[in-house]
Structure 1
Amino acid sequence: MCHPGWARALAQEQRLKDLARLRRVRDRIDREYAQPLDVAALAHDVNWPAGHLSRQFRLAYGRSPYAFVTARRVERAKTLLRDGDLTVIEVGFLVGFPSQGVFRARFTELAGLTPGAYRRGAAVAATRTPSGPVRNGEALATAPQLA
């Protein structure tokens, strides 16, 4: 019969191995977000069934692998739209969306604006100069009104 302490130690060791597998999947997504990635291929790399990977990934990171890939692509698209000179269509394809329609829909869903509107808003924000310190996403301060 197995000692209860050993069983706990074995379970903890397995949990650490599982977390390392999930980290490898997340790191691959971070590196290869612009490539076609599907759950089956990600699961194959860590020797898990796709359904098991999806469940474990959601438990560890709060979203499915597909949602994680989409979020990474939108994050990168925001940077390119804000700082680059590529067209909206070029940005969508560069970050890995299969079509302009999918890019627009996923971007709008996650960012709350269309990619074009986001770019225009970023351009306007870049021309503003804050009148005081801006920290932690605070709104730009307005000039004080003197009587």
Structure 2
Amino acid sequence: MNDVLEDPALLRRLLRAKDRMDASSHEDWPVKRLAEVSGVSEAHFARSFKRAFGLPPHRYLLTRRIEQAVTLLRDTDLAITDIAFVTGWESLGTFGRIFRDITGRSPSAMRAESRAAVPALDRVPACVLKAAQRPDLTIAVLEKRRRVAKAKVRPSSTKEVT
């Protein structure tokens, strides 16, 4: 039997299945479906995937789901239950148990730790910060200077009356 790494065609097929899991990790990916994507038998797929990537396909999928959940816990205010279902878990209990097994913390503890470690502005999405800091281009530059200087700069269009 050829080693997976010595068979570029098989490796491409395995990568195709891995890419599908990455793109849609919230979906169910039984070995049968992954083998169909790869065009190989189920047993051959399972063995080859583990040899190529170091993890069985199911464990790889769980890891991807947990990575996405960590990101959502850190960057959103979604409820933990919603995060569990969005990332593909059918049970909140299973999500919590596997999350704790992989990360060493519960989802709520992970959220609290990640938020305590990040300054307040780092939690504001970059697009919101940029919009808030964007200059108002509807006001002329001289008008902005006048506002900043609190009328210390005389208007250029009016003449001094003596």
> If the TM-score is normalised by the length of the shorter chain, which range does it land in?
0.7 to 0.9
Instruction: Provide the aligned C-alpha RMSD in A.
Output: 2.0
Shift of residue 25, structure 1, vs aligned partner = 0.8
Aligned match for 1:51, one of 34, 39, 43? 43
Counterpart secondary structure, 2:69: helix
What is aligned with 1:97?
89
Counterpart secondary structure, 2:118: helix
- How high is the TM-score relative to the length of structure 2? 0.69
Cα deviation, 1:85-117, whole Å, max 9, x if unaligned, reads 100110010000111011101111111101011
**Structure 1 residue ranges (4+ consecutive) displaced by more than 3 angstroms after TM superposition:** none
Unaligned runs of 5+ in 2: 121-162
Aligned length: 118
The structure with more radius of gyration? 2
What is aligned with 2:68?
76
Letter of the 1:33 partner, please give it.
Answer: S
Counterpart secondary structure, 2:117: helix
> 1:51, 1:99 → 2: CA distance?
28
What is aligned with 1:63?
55
What is aligned with 1:139?
none
Letter of the 2:11 partner, please give it.
Answer: L
Counterpart secondary structure, 2:109: helix
Aligned match for 1:118, one of 98, 110, 116? 110
What is aligned with 1:140?
none
What is aligned with 1:42?
34
Cα deviation, 1:3-51, whole Å, max 9, x if unaligned, reads xxxxxxxx99x70100100110110010010111111111112221212
- How high is the TM-score relative to the length of structure 1? 0.75
> 2:85, 2:93 → 1: CA distance?
11
